[in-house]
Each structure stands twice: as C-alpha cells, then as structure tokens.
Structure 1
C-alpha cells in the first residue's frame, strides 16, 4: 500500500479537478489512479482536508483522509477495515498472483438542473411507468443492468470513514472506488446528483448497521463498455433530513424531493439504453425521517417523467410491498397522470396542515380523491 501511494506523482501527474456546485461536469479516472489516490487517503497525505472550521478551504467537501477510522475502536470499524484492506489486497496482488490493479476506467459525473429546466410537476401529463416491488433482494445485488440509487448524504459517502453503516456506507465499502469521489465532489445542492459509472464490486457482505459483516471476495464479472468501464451505474441523491416528520408534507419539501429524484433518474439516451430501469427502495426513510408511502410516490413520479421503469426493494417489509403495489395498480388502472397526482398531493398537504388529515391516511385520501374525480366525470 505504501508503494502504491508513492506512485501517485507518476500515475497522477496533474491535479485532480474539482466537481463544484452549480455546474454539470465529469471526471474519468483509471482504476490504477483511484487505487493510488485511496492509498494516499489511507495514509492521510491530503493536506488541508482534516480541518473542521466552517471557513476552511474544503469545508464544503467530504473528508477524504482515513484519520477518522483510527482510534475509538469498534466492531463497525473492524468490519470496515476488513473491506478496505481486502480492496488493497486485490489491487496490489498481495495474496493471489491473479489479483492485480484493474485496468478499466470509472467516470464521476456531477449533474445539475438549472432553475429554467425544473419540471412543472402540476402540468405533467406522463403516466406512471412499470414498477416491480419486492421484499427480497438488494439494490446492488439484484439491480444489475439498472441505475442503482445511493441513498446519499449531501456530502457523498456519508459516514463511510466514520461510524456510519447504512445503505450508502455499505455501498461505498463493497465498491471502495466510490470513496475517491469524496476527494473532489463538493456538497450536493438541491437540484444536483453525482452519477458514477464503472465502479467495481470487491466484497461480499452480510447485514446492516451493527449486524454488518464483511464476508469474502467478490469476483465482479460485470461486462465493460467501450470505455472499459464496468456496466454499473450508481447515482447519489441526498434526501432531506426531517427532524419533524410532518415537515415533509409541505409542498416546498415535496418539490425539492421530486426535483432531486428527477435529477438522479434522468439522463441521456445512451444512459437509458444501458440502464433502462431504476433500482431503488426506501430512499430518505429511517434515519432521515422520510415517510415510506410519500417517498415511494415521489420516486414513481420522478421515474415517470424520466421515462424509466423501476424496481423497488422494501428490504424485507412484505406489508409495504402490498401497500405500494395496490397504490401503483390503482393509479395505473385509472391512468392518473403525474400532474393529477401532484395536485392531489397538494390538497392532501393542505388538509394535513389544517389538522383535517393524518400522514398515515395519504393513500386512502388519494384513492378517494381519484374516485370522486372519476365519478364526477
């Protein structure tokens, strides 16, 4: 690892550009370059990146040096180190002769939607696309050939270099090349996402949070595209963190989440050809306080506007599978447009603010509103 770190001047002879906010731009790195950069991150050689002062030069960037993993030992950190050291064993060929630094490329694309390009959700005439819903499987395991959603923090990678161990951190641990994005990706704005194409999976794992355990080597057999990138695309979209769950039922918050999801789900036609569907799940729920019914609808609406199918994983929640399937079936059977659904959400949020509805009654409210509209016609 030390030898790999020392190769940096030859492997990366120029400075790495920064993916700054308010602009769509991309960086493509070789997997060898990424390995060198991550070796330096492990040895904490990047200057000015440990500062916590809000006025510091890189205050709006995630940490990249691995210093926060050292000290205050825990079982979580031990499992993280097992995944990280396994990555370095593979790319340095430390244990097996057939292991060597992969020779492909990885592209990191920051995508920004300007104010003039934000959809008018109230007027959208698109209908919901096909959605498959399952309580079994995982986004990264069963979402091959799909656009895989990273339930991100605005500082990408979240707590991967600290104690965090939920969906985003696990994604970064089993695909360690994602970690290098923390070096150059400024904090994501409300209409921005980070799209990573070509990251390789190195590890198998089990569990979540305190149950997370590194298991073994993963032999990634994903094909490469014409740029020698693995045909795997991951999009980081950060949901709002709701300390008060009722706050998410204000339409400004709904608009923000719709725009964020749409930014992540849309893309050029070449991207759609390779990754025609979206693999996602309970985005922005649990620790972020999101309502699963509302967040699922928001993602369905964004996928409809992006003209992509969706595979939704509920991570073992069979009851949620039924709730979402019945709601989606109801809306598609009655050919409810995204605009009609948006206006219904507006009415519901207004009723909720007046105390005339409860958040748990969202789906029943939608059914009643749609049925009343249909019968009046």
Structure 2
C-alpha cells in the first residue's frame, strides 16, 4: 500500500449520491489530445505562495477570533509542536467539541472499540492498527484545549498541529466521538465524523478509500508530523455591489490538462464543496471533494467542528499535506501509492497549500441558474472564498479552480467559469482554470475572457449583461433551453453597443 505515484483529477458532489454519479465538473477527458493544451497567460506568471505572500504576523490566540492549540513560543521549524495548555481542560457544552475522553461522556466507546487482539492486528496490518490505537489514546494529552465549534455566522480560526489532527482522526477511525453516530442530536447541522459508514458493506470504492487513509495513518505513526494546520470559517458581511463594480477582469490561464492540486500548487485551490464539508468522504461519495479529502486527510478533521455552510460563508484550510497519489475517478478511483509532499512551509510552519471550500447551488432546471437571485448567490459565495480584505492584490496567489457545481449540481460550465472570473476580479486575484480534458470549453472561456478584456468591459457591465440575458432570453423559454447561448448573447450585445452609429455618417 505504499508504492506508486500517479495522480488523477477532481470535481464536486452532494454529500451522498444515491449511486456514484457520472464523471462530473467537465472532467471527462477526451481520448484524443488537442494540439493546444492551454490558452491565455502562462501559468508561470501567476502568483503562488510563498513567493507572492507577505510576512505573517506572530501566531497568537485572539479572543473570539483565533483559537491556537499549541505553544506558539516554542514553535520551531522541524520540531513537533507542544500542546497548550499542559493539562487537558474538560469542557462539555454546546459551543465546543464534545471529546471522548471527557469525564462527562456517558458513552464509554473508546475502551469497547479499542480492545484488539495483538495477533489479529498483526495479521491485518502488522503494527499499524496498534499504533493507531496508541495515537487515538494520546488525544487527551495532545488536544488539551477545548476546540470551539465553527458555527454559522462566525468568523473564527482554529490552528492546531498536524499531530493533534492525526490523533483526532484516529479517534474518528475508531468511531469514538460521542453523539456523532446519528444526525438526530444537537449535531443535526454538522457533517458526520466517525468512520462507521466507511466500514459498512464490501464496496470496492470503500476498499480504495481505506487504502488511501491507511497510507496516511502509516505515515503519521511512523514519523511524527511537525507542522500546523489552520481552519478558518469566514462569513461575508457586506457583499459587493456587483452592478456598480468598475473592476476589470484579471489574468486567466486556462488549460484542458493538469489538476488543481498538482499544477495549482501554491495557489488558492477551490474545493467544489458540499455545504457539509467533505461531502461523502467517509461514506459512499468519491468525486472531486471526497478525493481531495482522501489524499489530504487532515481536511477531514474539519467535519468535527464545522457547521453546514450558509449562503455567504466558506471554510479556508491552510497547511494540509498530501499523503497519497491516486488514479481514476468515482467508480474507477484507485489509491496510487504514497506521495511525498515537497510543498514549502510558511512562517507558521504550515504547508503553503490553501484550500477553500465553497458549495455551489444545486439546480433542478437549467434555466433556474440564470435568475438574478441565483447569480448573486453564486457570485457572493465565490467572492467570500476568494477575497482577503486588507491584503494587497500583489500579495494574493491566483485562484486554481474548475467547473464548480457543473455535474450533478446542474451548473452550466460557461456560466460558472464567467462567475468565478468576476468574483476573482472583484477580489483582485488572477485565475488558473482547469477544464479536465474539455478543450472546447477551454477555447470558449478563453475567447470570452479575451473579448471582454480587449474592450475593457467591467465586472459591473458583465453583471448587467447577465441580467439582460435572463430578462430578454431566459424568461420566455419556459422549460426549454434558450436558443441563444449566454456567450452568443454577450458577444452580440457588446458588439452592437460598441458599433458606430449609422446616424454619425
């Protein structure tokens, strides 16, 4: 389980698809390779961390804003972070995670689940499973500070060590978190965290998932990880006035080859998320979001404390490490062996991998997504994920993204590409867009971007054109698709508005 080094591609999903969806998010690669594989700005000219970033402030606890679970004064590169405080603080309330080792836990599942016959464990995994047991049992000495729940409407960050994350995930593997095996509790609006659904049935997909996760546990039990990871829930208090925006489109690199996680290294990488972050990662789901959470398993711990995302919220995770490679997608997904992540670390000892979870709307009909209210929602959601108020544009990495919400969620690829370009422009970020094999989409989006850029069409003007398209084209279509496509409409309207008036002759 620790050999091989190939990678695949990604997309988004609902939390649990009844059966595995068709390959989605425009990620159906063509057998024939196109002559041109990318268009626009060379990807080498787009900003990446840490090169474009500014120096980080000192890491510290900030009441109501940032909870740090380690001794910041002892943080050193290559050294295992020291938990803070020194002794476990027992908390059992509605604003913090309820821990298995709390004295108030009435569900003594740890002792029941973790009693293992050494011979059986050796037979199954050698020393791995016993090592995972010890990692889980160390949680009370590693995670000594109460972990706040990231509830809806909050703007709050949690920074913890990779070792603390590993111990929490070991507990999730052994299904020890109390009151989390049913959604009929106070955690109704939270993702599940215990891995019990991953052990149900004998699905080949779940076998591949377990291979991927066991690769992670093998790594963290053989060598203690030394970095930090930050989870930030962000709420958008004041959405932009899209109609009046004078922002111009930023640079675009668009390609039908490559992947967000590989070619978008050092950029803000978009997780095409479910509102319950991680989607079906520990269930039956196995598409874009689930795959990313499997190869970077530290993302999974966000499910322990992140309430479902609202319409103007996102979750930003900085510092997770990729432990596995993979091939295939959905039904064809295969664990591809261990991955050596060479991503540099920032001043807080986090891997310079920043992933933003933004959930797209799911549309029952094609026309629904062009309604102004739906356009506003998707623009605000993307902008929430991309914007960093107070930071200069030159210090922001590019956004690495793709066909967000365009598979089973029903989104139109060309509309979603345009909306993300508008949100990125308003946030002051360039864009690296991966079409996952769709060369025609690559060409169409590039041509639209070049057309608008050459004519200095602002974000507000494009937004107005979207409204015109809905009112003059979509409204009269009833249930059928419009005869005039969105891009054709934009070309026609802009060209006619810029054409010389015949009366001037």
Task: Indicate if the aligned counterparts of 1:348 and 1:362 stay in contact, CA closer than 8 A.
Answer: yes
Q: Is 1:102 equivalent to 2:231 in the alignment?
A: no
User: What do the CA deviations read for 1:83-106 (whole angstroms, capped 9, x no partner)?
Assistant: 10000000001xxxxxx1211100
Alignment of structure 1 residues 283-302 onto 2, 5 Å: 283-302=404-423
Task: Indicate if the aligned counterparts of 1:231 and 1:274 stay in contact, CA closer than 8 A.
Answer: no
- What is aligned with 1:113? 236
- What is aligned with 2:164? 33
- What is aligned with 2:269? 148
| Distance in structure 2 (CA, Å) of the matches to 1:376 and 1:6 | 75
Find the partner of 2:445 among 320, 324, 329.
Answer: 324
Greater shift in the superposed pair: 263-272 or 3-12:
263-272
Q: Is 1:67 equivalent to 2:188 in the alignment?
A: no
User: What do the CA deviations read for 1:77-125 (whole angstroms, capped 9, x no partner)?
Assistant: 01100010000000001xxxxxx121110000001011xx111100000
Greater shift in the superposed pair: 323-332 or 241-250:
241-250
Q: 1 or 2 for the larger relative contact order (CA 8 Å, sep ≥6)? A: 2
Q: Is 1:77 equivalent to 2:200 in the alignment?
A: no
Write 1 or 2 for the structure with the bigger share of helix.
Answer: 1
| Distance in structure 2 (CA, Å) of the matches to 1:16 and 1:107 | 13
Name the Cα RMSD after superposition.
1.5
| Distance in structure 1 (CA, Å) of the matches to 2:352 and 2:483 | 40
Pair 1:43–1:267, CA change in 2 (3 A): same
SS of residue paired to 2:160: strand
- Deviation of the 1:50 alpha carbon: 1.4
- What is aligned with 1:375? 499
Find the partner of 1:361 among 478, 485, 490.
Answer: 485
- Deviation of the 1:75 alpha carbon: 1.1
Structure with the greater alpha carbon radius of gyration: 2
- What is aligned with 1:52? 183
- Deviation of the 1:271 alpha carbon: 8.8
- Deviation of the 1:15 alpha carbon: 2.3
- Equivalenced residues, count: 367
| Distance in structure 1 (CA, Å) of the matches to 2:340 and 2:392 | 25
Alignment of structure 1 residues 107-256 onto 2, 5 Å: 107-114=230-237, 117-256=238-377
Pair 1:376–1:122, CA change in 2 (3 A): farther
| Distance in structure 2 (CA, Å) of the matches to 1:18 and 1:348 | 42
Q: Is 1:8 equivalent to 2:129 in the alignment?
A: no
| Distance in structure 2 (CA, Å) of the matches to 1:6 and 1:359 | 62
Task: Indicate if the aligned counterparts of 1:147 and 1:279 stay in contact, CA closer than 8 A.
Answer: yes
User: What do the CA deviations read for 1:145-201 (whole angstroms, capped 9, x no partner)?
Assistant: 110000000000001011111110010000000000000001000110000010001
Find the partner of 2:387 among 241, 244, 266.
Answer: 266
Task: Indicate if the aligned counterparts of 1:145 and 1:275 stay in contact, CA closer than 8 A.
Answer: no
Structure 1 stretches lacking a partner, 5+ long: 94-99
- Deviation of the 1:310 alpha carbon: 0.3
- What is aligned with 1:96? none
User: What do the CA deviations read for 1:20-43 (whole angstroms, capped 9, x no partner)?
Assistant: 111211000100100000000000
Greater shift in the superposed pair: 70-79 or 252-261:
70-79
SS of residue paired to 2:212: helix
Pair 1:174–1:271, CA change in 2 (3 A): farther
Task: Indicate if the aligned counterparts of 1:145 and 1:274 stay in contact, CA closer than 8 A.
Answer: no
Question: Normalising to structure 2: TM-score of the pair?
Answer: 0.71
Pair 1:216–1:270, CA change in 2 (3 A): farther
Pair 1:142–1:269, CA change in 2 (3 A): farther
